[in-house]
Amino acid sequence: MDVRLPLFVVTPIFGAIIILLVGKWDKKIFPRVWSIITMAFLLLLIFLTWNKGTLLHFMGGWEPPYGIVLVEDSLSLLILLIINVVGFLSIVFSYSYILRYEDYLRFFSMFLLMIAGMNGVAIAGDLFNLYVFLEIASIASYALVGYGVGPEELEASFKYLILGVLASTLILFGIAIIYAATGSVSMADVARFLINNPGNRAVLLASGFFLMGFSLKAGLVPFHAWLPDAHPAAPAPISAMLSGVLIKVLGIYAMIRVFYHVIGITPMVSQIFIGMGGLSMVVGALMGFGQDDMKRLFAFSSISQMGYVMIGIGLGTPLGIFGALFHLLNHAGYKSLLFLSSGAIERETRTRKLSELGGLREKMPVTSAASVVGSLSISGVPPFNGFWSKLIILLAAFQSRNFLVAGIVVFTAFLTLTYYLRFQKNAIFGSVSEKVKGAHEAPIPMVMPLVIFAIFCLLIGVFNHTIISGIIIPAGQILLDRAGYIMSVLGGV
Amino acid sequence: MTLYFLDFVLFAIGIYALVAKRHIVKKILGVAIMEYSVNLFLILIGFKKAGVAPILTKDMDLVTFIKTAVDPLPQALVLTSIVIGLGTLALMVSIAIRLYERYGTFDMHEINRLRG
């Protein structure tokens, strides 16, 4: 029993309600300050529960398999760390960025609800709560994508909503089938039942539904239609959250938790993971080439980078899993950095088109330096973090003798480098264009998160060994040890 | 078994309306049909013919209770999922109204400033 676990969900929901209540008197300063305080408290909470082994909380004192259980193991801890660090820095960034909109209250309260939903997904111990928290995060994100209420924002939001609802319904259907087949929704209990009674055909149907639903949420290639519209339409901090956190938590994390721990990974599912991963990598990278809109380019590169993670997970070897989880962490860092920097650039120059930008280096030196660090990291240039995770995934592909996959990994890394060089050449370097002439450096609350993310990219790259052995390997071991997960949740029950 | 099959047909109708229809309101109706088919499926899992409410009274022994009582868990799940469905439906309808204000049409083929 650990009473701190529900706080991961309760604190942001409480913060969201307080913002709406106090917002009657103070509409401008309070929401911004209070959301920063809430996020700082969540970071403190992670620090307090750091490396304490697997923590459990039984809601209402009902023990599993009958009650609702919250689980925080090393894998959840890695995901919680990503959510709350990126969330904190995005909220700090919003402090100045929100000035261009009128309604502060709903922005920050929905932001906190999204955080609450994602934290809930990370610590949920049963399938139905996973679904409920997934929906909380999704509904908040649909509304936030359409926050600008312009025609394009609303269109993107509606597209995202339709596909998101389809994904959630498929996931709920999968959960219903699992319940019908096993008589339980507790993840550990279902896993134990399926180990004792193998060969259940209904589970295969449920796997199909889960695969479609979570791939839609993750924006993997056959299901990616919403992603390149939704990411550019959202306000910059929300794009950073969507790309840096939401597609990972609701898509990839939920998928690996369900497939590795609950249903159990089979060679067929692994092959599908590798297939979708390879397709996402190549298609995302190729689509990235033709984009003139900066944020659309980043959105397509998110699809491509999620492909790397899926390849690592699909390989299924310990090295592949470690590489995939490490890439998850790295991608959260540099993609959030790039989306936030695009927000800072758009605020100063009023454009996102690469053809209208140029010479930002002279007008916005700090933002430019940070986004150069981000693009070098994502292209996999050695001292930065992206290089190491791509290297590990490549080695894992060689180790398991998947030479075609290894070829695709190298080819996509080359493509990524090419289109990020194009971004740098057109936007950061070159001569100062018409629109950039009046630009200044962004205010401090916007520049600070960029600099912190850039330092993260560099430090994780330099001290990669410490990060891998301290955070990534424990999380990967939890993922590979299905029996250990069942034991740690159910105990001797 | 027939009931389950018909439920899958309902789900397929929902997906068809969602994917193939151009009119936004029809798409929203498709989402509603799809959600209700899943709710129906959950209820069917716990359904028993001539079942009783799952409350153990003094004049009932455990064996007949297990035989006749319906499974209460799916009902609890369905309540939650209906509430979530209401939330998404409200958001969808309000976005549809805003879209109509901006574009002057409900036709998804004419609302195409962005391309996937």
pLDDT for A370-421, tens place per residue?
999 999 999 988 889 999 999 999 999 999 998 999 999 999 999 999 999 9
Q: Is the pLDDT of residue A492 over 70?
A: no
In this predicted structure, what is the pLDDT of residue A150? 87
In a domain, B53, yes or no: yes
% of residues, chain A, pLDDT over 90: 73
Q: Is the pLDDT of residue B114 over 80?
A: no
What's the CA gap between A390 and A323, in Å, rounded?
A: 7
DSSP state of A356: G
DSSP state of A429: S
Mutate to test the interface with B, among A130, A144, A152, A155 (most CBs of B within 10 A): A155
In this predicted structure, what is the pLDDT of residue A352? 87
Q: Is the pLDDT of residue A342 over 80?
A: yes
In a domain, B66, yes or no: yes
Q: Predicted ipTM?
A: 0.94
In a domain, A131, yes or no: no
In a domain, B36, yes or no: yes
pLDDT per residue as tens digits for the range A164-202:
999 999 999 999 999 999 988 999 999 999 999 888 888
Question: How many domains would you assign to chain B?
Answer: 1
In a domain, B29, yes or no: yes
Using alpha carbons only, what angle is made at residue A296 by residues B103 and B98, rounded to the nearest 5 degrees? 20
pLDDT per residue as tens digits for the range A64-110:
788 889 999 999 999 999 999 999 999 999 999 998 888 899 999 99
In a domain, A335, yes or no: yes
In this predicted structure, what is the pLDDT of residue B54? 82
In a domain, B39, yes or no: yes
Range of the domain at B52: 2-103
In this predicted structure, what is the pLDDT of residue B116? 52
Give Cα separations from A46 to A51, A118, A479 (angstroms). 9, 14, 20
Per DSSP, the three-state class of A146 is coil
| Other CB atoms within 10 Å distance of the CB of residue A62 | 11
| Both tokens assigned to A129 | 């709560």
Give Cα separations from A475 to B27, B78, B84 (angstroms). 41, 34, 32
In a domain, A161, yes or no: no
Q: Which of A151, A165, A176 lies closest to B31 in CB terms?
A: A165
Residues from chain B contacting residue A230 (CB–CB below 8 Å): none
Inter-chain touch B31–A151, beta carbons under 8 Å: no
What is chain B's mean pLDDT, rounded?
A: 88
The CATH number for B86's domain is: 1.10.287
In a domain, A341, yes or no: yes
Q: Is A306 on the interface with B (CB under 8 A)?
A: no
In this predicted structure, what is the pLDDT of residue A198? 85
Range of the domain at A335: 266-462
Mutate to test the interface with B, among A128, A130, A172 (most CBs of B within 10 A): A172
Q: Is the pLDDT of residue A12 over 70?
A: yes
Q: Is the pLDDT of residue A493 over 70?
A: no
| Both tokens assigned to A405 | 């996959």
Taking only Cα atoms into account, the Rg of chain A, rounded to an integer number of angstroms, comes to 21
In a domain, A182, yes or no: no
Q: Is the pLDDT of residue A459 over 70?
A: yes
Q: Is the pLDDT of residue A234 over 60?
A: yes
Phi, psi of B113 (to 5 degrees): -75, -30
What's the CA gap between A156 and A229, in Å, rounded?
A: 5
Longest dimension (CA), chain A: 70
CA B64 to chain A, closest CA, distance in angstroms equals 20
* Over residues B52-80, mean pLDDT: 84
Q: Give residue ranges of B with CB < 8 Å to any A CB.
A: 11, 15, 18, 24, 27, 31, 34-35, 38, 41-42, 45, 73-74, 77, 80-81, 84, 87-88, 91-92, 95-96, 98-99, 102-103, 111-114, 116
In a domain, B77, yes or no: yes
Do A244 and A374 touch, CB atoms closer than 8 A?
A: no
What is chain A's mean pLDDT, rounded?
A: 91
Q: Is the pLDDT of residue A51 over 90?
A: no
In a domain, A297, yes or no: yes
Question: How many domains would you assign to chain A?
Answer: 1
In the numeric block, the tokens 């204000």 are attached to: B101
Q: Is the pLDDT of residue A344 over 70?
A: yes
Half-sphere CA count of A198, side-chain side, radius 13 A: 4
In this predicted structure, what is the pLDDT of residue B115? 63
In this predicted structure, what is the pLDDT of residue B66? 80
Give the residue ranges of DSSP H helices in chain B: 2-20, 24-46, 62-68, 72-103
Q: Is the pLDDT of residue B84 over 60?
A: yes
In this predicted structure, what is the pLDDT of residue A427? 87
Q: Is A155 on the interface with B (CB under 8 A)?
A: yes
In a domain, A361, yes or no: yes
In a domain, A135, yes or no: no
pLDDT per residue as tens digits for the range A120-147:
999 999 899 999 999 999 999 999 999 9
